[in-house]
Structure formats: structure tokens, C-alpha cells
Structure 1
Amino acid sequence: MESIRTLVSRTVVLRERNIDTDQIIPARFLTTTERKGLGKYAFHDWRALPDGSPNPEFPFNRPENAGAHIIVAGRNFGCGSSREHAPWALLDLGVRAVISSEIADIFRSNALKNGLLPIVLDEAIVDGLLEQPGIELAIDVATRSVTLPDGRSFQFPLDSFAQTCLLEGVDQLGYLLKQTDAIAAYEQSRFAQANAQNNATPELQHAR
């Protein structure tokens, strides 16, 4: 997955609360395990009018939001069923971070495993951001902070392991694979220690 250290981008505002994973990517589009191309289905039923044409009022269809990488959403984003396709679709859409006052636990876990940064801030702060669509934010993963254009900075929670994976651009398996040499050295050390104990003199063995 792609690493994320700093992110400077305008925001796309979705004011709705309880945006669930079926709204992020409807179930009928879950017939593939390919991540590439899922972005065209993200928020499909909101982005399209009944006749299939683009809904000009939906934020991601508006030209001023082209190239924006940060969503600011209402409370309880990503609720509903567990589907890894949801962060896949958002990433393919170009989204790298989601800010809300509450993000569903399973969605948050799936997002972090795929390089999508879920940021939870105080509700009053998020309410302010919801009223300023298109504001430019600066996100720093190393300092776990979001900075506004006026210089105000807010910390967000992020556990150390998830932070390391985001900074290094690796998922959980990738992180373990990078530790192969250290794991091999530890196993060799344990093997040598066990041999030393097995070869100890009978007097020492009796003493133990």
C-alpha cells in the first residue's frame, strides 16, 4: 500500500450522519476482489440520478472538488456491514483521509489496513469543518495532527503500530515480512540456547 506521511488537500464535505458501507459502495458491486476501478462505484446511488446521469448536486460530481483527498463527514461514518471494498473504493476515488467525530470500528480497522487514514476529532471541530467545504487542511501522520489554514492544530488518536504501517506504506503482513531477518536471528539464538542447555554436564542438569 502507499505510504502516507503528510497530506495537504481541500476537503469534500458530506454532512450526512450514519453514512454506512452500503452507501459508500452498494452491495451489488462487491462481486470482485480487484481494488482498481472500484472508485467509479463509490457513493454510486448518491452520485447518479435515477436515469443514470451524474447528480450535479453531489459533492464528488462538482468540479471544484476534483482532486480533493480528504472527506469531512457527519457522525458515525462507515457504520453497517463489514466490507473491505469500502476503503478500497474510497482510495480508488482518490480519498486518503476521512475526518468525522465518530468512525465505525470495523471500517476504521479496514481503512488502516489499506492505507486510508480515519481521523476522529471533537464534534465541535468537525461541525466547524462541515460548514467550510473546500477548506485546505494539512495532515501530519508523524505528529498525529490536523492543521487549519488559520494555524490552529488538533491532535487525533492513532495507535503506534497503525502509525508505523502508514508511514512505511506496509500492511500488517508486510510489516511482519520486513522483520524476517530479526525473526530468523531470534530463532537461531533460541536454538543455540536450547543446544547449550542440552549439552550441559550431568552435574549441572542435576543441579537444575
Structure 2
Amino acid sequence: MSVLSKKLYVKKTGGTVVACNIYSTSAEAGDKALRVRVDNTDGYVALKATDDVNATGMRVKIGSVIYAVATKHESSGGVAVPYTENYWTEAGSHSFTVPAGVTRLRVAVCGGGGGKGGWSLGGNGGDSSAFGLKATGGRGGWRWGEGSGGEPNGIASSGNSITDGFLMSFDMTIGTYGRGGQYSGSGGYASQYMDVTAGQTYTITVGASGGTNGTAGFVLIAYGGDV
């Protein structure tokens, strides 16, 4: 009896690929299992309740009951973590401890916007980062050189007007976080799924604005549910 070296991969629309264990016997996969062929040999993937902590987005119907293909079988079973969002908007460092049962987060970060420039350069915005995902701050500009946006996806200044920032969202949308002051660029924006370790504490950094009319960035996360 063993876990095979090959995996069954499940990808939810708009999400990332999740690997599922394939067991050599149905007993190892638990009470219910999906039989698959691997190198002309039968293998078995665990089937769990759709709210199980190891459930993926793939569904299998047996009779009138719908099961979720699971990443693994745990004899003790799992309790689903409800969908939860957390966010940070105050510039500086913060900490977050990943709850039990959580191994993946959806993360969005926005860097701080550059401060107002004019006869002198506006200040640069601060970088925002979380779980290995980073968005740099907007660059300060002045009358003789407009500031660029942070990386990635930042908005460059168009002159003597406030530069748009971003909405606190997992989809990139124009808003007021990370905006740049006159002649200065907005903070960058990035959003993706990130693997994490349950119980581990991570540092969250929110980038400050670079000065007048610029705004700080944000960090937004979601976990549980179908994340």
C-alpha cells in the first residue's frame, strides 16, 4: 500500500492547479474513492463531503450524493474553514498567523502612491508585500519629470493631477488606495493565489504614501471556502 508518485491535478476556473494524492488501494483513500488508471494500473483518489477541508472544486455524483475530489484522505476527517477575508490599510508592518486547516490564500497587494510634486520632487511611495507577493510604491515626480507607477501594473502620472490608485479588491479596479499626488505615480498592484503553512506567522507590510495627496496601499487576503 502506498501513495503513488503521480498525482491527479484539479484546476478550478480562474484558480490554480491543486494536486490530489492517488493511493494504490481503495482502503487507503477512505470510505469513498474515485478509481483512476495510472500507467495501466488502478489507483484511487479520496472522495469527501463538499465542505471537507481537503475538498477541491471537482465533483463526483454517486447515486444521489455529490462528493468532492479531495487532495488527500485524513482518517480523522476535516472541518471546512469558512470563507474569510482580512485586510490591512495602515502603513507599516503587521503579522498574521495562518489558521489551522488553511494551506492556500488569495492575496492582493497595492503599494503606496507617490507624494505631490511640483517645483521639487514628490516622495516615493512605500512597497507592500505579503506571503512572497510584492507591489512597489509609486515614484515621485515634478514639473520637469512625471513619476512612474509602481511594479507591477502601477499607473504613471499624467501631469498636474492626482493619479488614480486601486480599489481594495482581488480584481484590478481603479480606486483610491495607492493613488499618487500631482506629478507622481500610483503604487503597483498584484493579485494571485499563494501557498502557505497552517500555524505559521507571516509578516504583512503596507506601503506608506510618499507625501501630500498620495495614499497608502493595502494588503487583502481571503481563505477558506472554495479559495
Q: Which of the two has greater strand per residue?
A: 2
Q: Which of the two has greater helix per residue?
A: 1
The reply to whether TM is greater than 0.5 is: no
TM-score, scaled relative to structure 1: 0.24
TM-score, scaled relative to structure 2: 0.23
- Which has the higher relative contact order, 1 or 2, with Cα contacts under 8 A spaced 6 or more apart? 1
